[in-house]
């Protein structure tokens, strides 16, 4: 039996801990909720926890460990993920019990889970955020596609509704990942989610040749970092590397003089680095793409090997002519080239849409 929702209630947000993307795209949701008088409590761990604590030092936080798969070093992750299947189910069930405990102990009125399957409640209204209603699988593994998507739908349907951070119609950024909707699941397309503002985009002199924005799970994050460091020794241009490690204080030592590295930077510095870069290189995670669109920049995409979502997005978006891409095994730093074009000519981005959506959503729940 669910509670009545009224203004000024407690809302629990649980971002997935696979990289920082799920945490970063929760930022505008948290700002919208707190700005409209709600108390937000964040349950997260590792990098996402450290990131959101720095972003919102006045919020209440709960350390909430979750499923943390170890990615393969190979070009496919399907077998690795399949072997983790039973362990994942146990973790999701454990997450569900933990959420129910938090709901009771903190008088929670709404739970919002960003792609964390086990974080729904039977007691209060629960929302699932995802841009992957339909998971993509490599062609050689096509026979497991129905099984994976049955599993995906099974957990999505445990939530009262789904929020998709994308445009519902012709300007879709996620393509067939989030279209069409799942039958009998209340679904809202809520527009792009980025922690940055449109005015953060500036026509700045391009003083740095390459900006590399790392992200994603290990060991592939470090493998790509090692490739960048090694290849940077053979060029003279400046290379800036953002390591996506907000909970780390150490930096690699064996780097050439033309390489600058940051474990993490605040939003102001991030925008300056993006605006001053001639070429931006990134994995092509969905949250990174939404941030780049908000900042009116394109990028050279290097998907995490075997991460079919990123591989699909790279191929899908390259057809628009706004992104270039290559496989990690084919990457050559000195061959990277991107155009500084207005990406908003292709993708609409209404940054106020999430505030308007949250206000109407709360009113409808009350």
pLDDT tens per residue, range 168-203: 887 789 999 999 999 999 999 999 999 998 766 666
In this structure, what token pair is assigned to residue 309?
């979502």
- Kindly tell me if the per-residue pLDDT of 123 is higher than 50: yes
Choose among 25, 23, 111: nearest CA to 293: 25
Does the structure show a pLDDT above 80 at 5?
Answer: no
Q: Is residue 171 domain-shared with residue 38, that is, in the same domain?
A: yes
131 and 249 in a single domain? The answer is: no
Q: What is the CATH number of the domain that holds 314?
A: 3.40.50.2000
Verify that 299 and 360 share a domain, yes or no. no
- Residue 51 clears pLDDT 60, i.e. is over it: yes
Rounded distance between C-alpha atoms, residue 316 and residue 172, angstroms: 11
Indicate whether 215 and 339 sit together in one domain. Answer: yes
Burial class (CB in 10 A: 0-12, 13-18, 19+), 6: exposed
Contacts of 74 (CB under 8 A, 6+ apart): 305, 306
Domain match, 229 and 101 both: no
Q: What is the pLDDT of residue 216?
A: 79
**What is the reported pLDDT for 282?**
96
Do 182 and 293 fall into the same domain? no
**Domain count within the chain:** 2
Q: Which residues contact 135 (CB under 8 A, 6 or more apart)?
A: 145, 148, 149, 152, 177, 308, 309
Q: What is the pLDDT of residues 207-240, one digit of tens each?
A: 889 999 998 778 889 999 999 999 999 999 999 9
pLDDT of residue 77: 53
Q: 4 in a domain, yes or no?
A: no
- What are the distances in angstroms from CA 250 to CA 226, 238, 302? 15, 21, 25
Mean pLDDT of 278-286: 94
pLDDT at residue 1, as a whole number: 41
pLDDT at 204 over 80: no
Same domain, 148 and 282: no
Asked if residue 161 and residue 120 are part of one domain, the reply reads yes
In this structure, the answer to whether residues 179 and 105 fall within a common structural domain is yes
Within 10 angstroms of residue 48's Cβ, the number of other Cβ atoms is: 27
Residue 5 belongs to some domain of the structure? no
Identify the band that residue 84 occupies on the pLDDT scale cut at 50, 70 and 90: low
Q: How far apart are CA 201 and CA 199, in angstroms?
A: 5
Cβ within 8 Å of residue 77, ≥6 positions away: 71, 305, 306, 307, 308
User: How many residues would you count in the chain?
Assistant: 366
* 129-175 per-position pLDDT tens digit: 999 999 987 776 677 778 888 999 999 999 999 999 998 887 789 99
- What pLDDT, on the 0 to 100 scale, is given for residue 315? 94
Say how far apart CA 316 and CA 334 lie, in whole Å. 24
């Amino acid at each position: 039996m669910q509670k009545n929702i009224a203004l000024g209630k407690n809302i629990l947000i649980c971002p997935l801990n696979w990289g920082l993307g799920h945490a970063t795209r929760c930022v505008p949701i948290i700002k919208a909720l707190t700005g409209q008088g709600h108390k937000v409590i964040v349950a997260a761990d590792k990098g996402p926890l450290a990131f959101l604590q720095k972003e919102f030092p006045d919020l209440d936080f709960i350390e909430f460990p979750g499923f943390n798969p170890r990615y393969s070093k190979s070009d496919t992750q399907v077998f690795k993920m399949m072997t983790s299947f039973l362990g994942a189910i146990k973790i999701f069930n454990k997450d569900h019990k933990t959420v129910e405990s938090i709901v009771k102990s903190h008088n929670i009125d709404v739970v919002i889970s960003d792609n964390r399957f086990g974080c729904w409640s039977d007691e209060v209204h629960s929302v699932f955020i995802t841009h992957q209603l339909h998971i993509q699988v490599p062609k050689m593994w096509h026979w497991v596609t129905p099984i994976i998507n049955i599993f995906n739908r099974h957990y999505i349907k445990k939530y009262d509704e789904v929020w998709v951070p994308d445009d519902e119609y012709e300007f879709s950024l996620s393509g067939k990942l989030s279209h069409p909707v799942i039958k009998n699941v209340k679904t809202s397309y809520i527009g792009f989610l980025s922690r940055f503002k449109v005015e953060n985009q500036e026509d700045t002199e391009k003083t740095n040749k390459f900006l590399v924005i790392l992200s994603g799970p290990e060991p592939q994050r470090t493998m790509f970092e090692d490739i960048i460091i090694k290849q940077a020794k053979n060029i003279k241009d400046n290379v800036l590397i953002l390591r996506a490690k907000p909970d780390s204080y150490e930096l690699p030592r064996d780097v050439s003089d033309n390489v600058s590295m940051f474990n993490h930077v605040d939003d102001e510095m991030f925008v300056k680095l993006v605006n001053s870069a001639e070429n931006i290189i990134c994995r092509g995670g969905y949250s990174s793409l939404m941030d780049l669109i908000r900042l009116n920049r394109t990028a050279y995409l290097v998907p995490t090997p075997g991460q079919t979502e990123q591989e699909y997005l790279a191929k899908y978006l390259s057809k628009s002519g706004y992104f270039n891409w290559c496989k990690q095994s084919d990457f050559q730093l000195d061959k990277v080239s991107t155009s500084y074009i207005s990406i908003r000519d292709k993708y609409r981005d209404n940054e106020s849409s999430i505030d308007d959506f949250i206000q109407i959503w709360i009113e409808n729940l009350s």
